Amino acid sequence: MKRIAIILLVLTVFASVAWSQMEHGMMGRSDRQSYSQEEGEKLFELMSISRGGQLYDNWWKATVDTKKPENDHPLWKEQSSNQRGGYDTYRCKECHGWDYRGKNGAYGKGSHYTGFKGVYEAAEKMSIKELEDVNKGVISKKHDFTAQISNKEIADLALFIKKGLIDTGKFVDGEGLPIGGNKRAGRHIFKRNCAMCHGAVGTEINFGDSEKPEFLGTVAYNNPWEFIHKVRNGQPGTRMPSAIINDWSEEDILDLLSFVRTLPKDTSEISWWSRRFGGGMQRHHRMMHGDGHLSGERGFGASQK
C-alpha cells in the first residue's frame, strides 16, 4: 500500500505541474510527443529542484501533513537583530536570504538581518549528501529539520541548493536595480505567461491587504531577489509555473523583472494603467491561486517520512 501511495503521489505532483505548464502554453512541445527516459529523468530532477526552491521559500505551504511551528527555531536565540518569531524563524529564506547570501547579501541590513551565513558558498563546496546532513542535524543538532519535514523533502531542498541556486548579482546590483533587461521583451513574456493570473497590470492578486496592498510590481520593485526566486521556482501552495522546469533563460527572467518593475506598486497607480491596458482575469486567478484545490493553499502531496 505504501508503494502505491508513493506512486500516486508522484503522479499527482507531475499532473499538477504538467497541467500548469500546458495551461500556460509553456511545455515547449506538443502533449502528443513522448519523453525519452533521459528527458523524463531530467524533467523529474527539475521538478525536484523547483520543489526544493519552494521548500526554501515556505516549506509549510509546500507540504500538506507537516505541523507549523509556533515556537522559535533553536538557532534564533543566537541573534537579536531580527525580531520575527514563530514559523518565520524556520523559513530558510529568513536566515539565508532570497539571494542565498545571508549576512553578505540583501539581508545584510534592515529588519531581516540575523548575521547568519548564506548557502551560496556552501553549495559550491559541499556535496548533496553533506547538504542533506546539515538539515538532518548531523553537523549541528540545532539545525535538525527531521522533526518538521521528511527525508524526501530534505533531499529536494539539498538538490535545490546544490543545483538550483543562481548568482542574483547577474540580475540586480547591490541596491536591487536591474542590470540591463529589455522591458519590451519582458512585457511580451508577462502577457504570455503572467497576465492570465495577475491581470493585465499585475494587480489582480494582492499579496498584502486593503490598507497596505502589495502587487507583483511592488515585489519586483522592493524585493527583486524574492521576485526572481518565485519566478524560477513557483509560489508554494499554488499551481504557479516554474521557470526552472520550463528552462527559461537568465535573459528571460531579467527582461520580465525589468518590465514588471514598471507596473503599479500601490493603488494610486492602478487607474492610469487600467485605463491604458484594461483589467485582469479574476476567474483564472481563483483557479490558479485560490485555496480550494489543495487544502488551504498547501503543497502538492503528503510527506513520505
What's the mean pLDDT in 10-20?
Answer: 45
CATH class of 170-289: mainly alpha
Locate the domains of the chain by residue range: 35-165, 170-289
The grid coordinates of residue 157 equal 531542498
pLDDT of residue 37: 86
75 vs 241: CA distance, rounded Å: 33
DSSP string of the chain? -HHHHHHHHHHHHHHHHHHHHHHTT-SSS-TTSPPPHHHHHHHHHHHHHHHHHHHHHHTTTT-SSPPPP-S--TTGGG--S----GGGGG-HHHHH-TTS-BTTTGGGSSTT----B-SHHHHHHS-HHHHHHHHBTSS-GGGB-TTTS-HHHHHHHHHIIIII---GGGTB-TTS-BSS--HHHHHHHHHHHTHHHH-TTS-SS-SS-SSS---HHHHHHH-HHHHHHHHHH--TTS----TTTTT--HHHHHHHHHHHTTS-SSGGGHHHHHHHH----HHHHHHHH-STTTTTT--SS----
Q: Is the pLDDT of residue 257 over 60?
A: yes
pTM of the predicted model as reported, rounded to 2 decimal places: 0.83
Q: What is the pLDDT of residues 114-162, one digit of tens each?
A: 999 999 999 999 999 999 999 999 999 999 999 999 999 999 999 999 9
Range of weakest confidence among 207-211, 227-231, 271-275: 271-275
What's the mean pLDDT in 238-245?
Answer: 95
| Confidence at 267, pLDDT banded by 50, 70, 90 | confident
pLDDT of residue 39: 86
Q: Is the pLDDT of residue 274 over 60?
A: no
Q: What is the pLDDT of residues 87-96, one digit of tens each?
A: 999 999 999 9
State the chain's mean pLDDT as an integer.
Answer: 84
Q: Is the pLDDT of residue 279 over 80?
A: no
Q: Is the pLDDT of residue 290 over 50?
A: no
Q: Is the pLDDT of residue 298 over 80?
A: no
